[in-house]
Amino acid sequence: MDLFDKCLARGLKDEAREKGIYPYFHALQTRQDTEVMMEGKRRIMLGSNNYLGLTTCPEVIEAGIKAVEKYGTGCSGSRFLNGTLELHLELEAELASFLGKDAACTFPSGFQSNLGIISAIAGHGDYILCDKENHASIYDGCRLSFAKTFYYKHSDMADLERILSNIEGKGGILIVTDGVFSMTGEIAKLPEITRLAEKYGARVMVDDAHGLGVLGEGGRGTASYYGIEDKIDIYMGTFSKSLASLGGYAAASAEVIDYIKHCSRPFIFAASVPPASCCSALAALRYLRAHPEIVTRLSDLSAYARSRFREKGIRIIDASTPIVPIWTYEVENTLRKAKEIFEDGVYLNPVLPPATNPGECLLRSSYMATLTEGLIDEAVEIIGRHIPPETA
C-alpha cells in the first residue's frame, strides 16, 4: 500500500463538492464583524467566536499597530530563549490577576495550550479523566501525556465517580473538562466535578476557551459563574475568541506555571506569541475589565436570539451562552441547509460527526455583543425560510 493512498480515497468532502454543498473555507473579504463580505456578498455573521466583537474595537486595533511599530512583526524564538518580550510578562500578570491565580503563561495558540499543559502535568503512571465531548486539543493533549486516560460520558457525574472509585494506582489524577462545550453551548457541571475531585484527591483543569468573556463576574468564566474559582486548579483559555487575537494561556499556582514553563514541549519548542497578537489580547482584556457591561449585553442578545427561534418554532439546544445550535439531524440535510442559508445571506457553522453523534447534526449559531436586535431579527427570518418549525 502506498502511503498516499488515503489521500486519494473518496469521502464526504468529495460527495459534498459534487453536490455543491461543501461548506468549508469560505473566504472573507472584510474584517471579522457582525456583517461581512464573503465571496462577493453581504452576510450576517452568526458563525464567529468573536463573542465580545472586539476584533473591530479601535483600542484593540491601535494596540496591535503600535506593537508592530515598537517590537516588529515577530519574536523569532521561543519564550524559553530569545522570544520573551516585556509584553508577554505584562499580559501574563494581568491574566493571572483577572482570573484570581498566582501566575499564567502564554502559548502560540489555544490548541497548543491544551497540548502543552496536559502533557506537562500528567505522565506515565498518572490518570486523566476526560469528558467525552471535550475539544479535540484536549484529546490530543491526553495522548501526548502518556497518562492512562478514561473518557467519562458527557456531563455524567455518576460515570465520572464510577471511574474515579475504580482507580487503584498511586499516580496523580487530573479531571479535565471544557467549561462551555463549544458545539452545544452547554455549561460543565463544575460544582459536582470539584466535589468529586475533593472526594477522590484529584486535580481539576477547565478549558474556558468559550467561557472567558462570556460567563461569570465581569466575564471571568465558568468557575466564576458558579462562584467556585478557588476549586479550579488550572485554567486554560484562548485569545482567539473573546480577546480578539491569537494565542492561549494557562493560569494556576506559581509552582504549577513554573513547572509547565520548564517541562512543556509545546511551550519550550514553539516561537512565542507575536507582538501584535500579544498587545491586542492585552488591550482586549483591559477593555473587558473596563467595560464589564459588555458581558451583560452579550447575554441579553443571546437570550433574545433564543426567544426569536422559539417564536419561529425552530428547535434549538437551549443553554445560557452565546452558542445557539439549531437541530438539522442528518449530514446531507445539514449541509444543504447551511448552503441555502449562506446563499440567502447568513453564515452559520455546520456541526457534523464526529463532533456530534450520527443523526444529531446541528447548525451552530453564535453571537457577538456588537450585534443588534435588528440584525438578529433579519437573520432569524432568513433561517426560518429554510428550517421548518417543529412542534416537538
CB 47 within 8 A of CB 25: no
CA 33 – CA 109 distance, rounded (Å): 21
CB 194 within 8 A of CB 228: yes
Q: Which of 88, 210, 339, 386 is catalytic?
A: 210
Amino acid letter, 128: I
Task: Tell me whether residue 241 is one of the annotated catalytic residues.
Answer: yes
- Separate counts of helices (H) and strands (E) for the chain: 15, 13
Amino acid letter, 316: I
Task: Tell me whether residue 386 is one of the annotated catalytic residues.
Answer: no
What is the number of other CB atoms lying within 10 angstroms of the CB of residue 198? 11
CA 219 – CA 128 distance, rounded (Å): 28
CA 82 – CA 138 distance, rounded (Å): 28
Q: Cβ-count burial of 105 within 10 angstroms (0-12 exposed, 13-18 middle, 19+ buried)? A: buried
CA 274 – CA 270 distance, rounded (Å): 12
Q: Which of 119, 137, 155, 182 is catalytic?
A: 182
Task: Report residue 104: phi and psi, to 5°.
Answer: -150, 160
Q: Which of 135, 241, 337, 386 is catalytic?
A: 241
How is residue 21 annotated by DSSP?
-
Scanning the structure block, which residue is given the C-alpha cell 449530514? 331
Task: Report residue 356: phi and psi, to 5°.
Answer: -130, 170
The neighbouring-strand residues paired with 238 are: 248
Amino acid letter, 189: K
CB 364 within 8 A of CB 50: no
CA 166 – CA 168 distance, rounded (Å): 6
Task: Tell me whether residue 154 is one of the annotated catalytic residues.
Answer: no
CB 315 within 8 A of CB 305: no
List, by residue number, the catalytic residues: 182, 210, 241
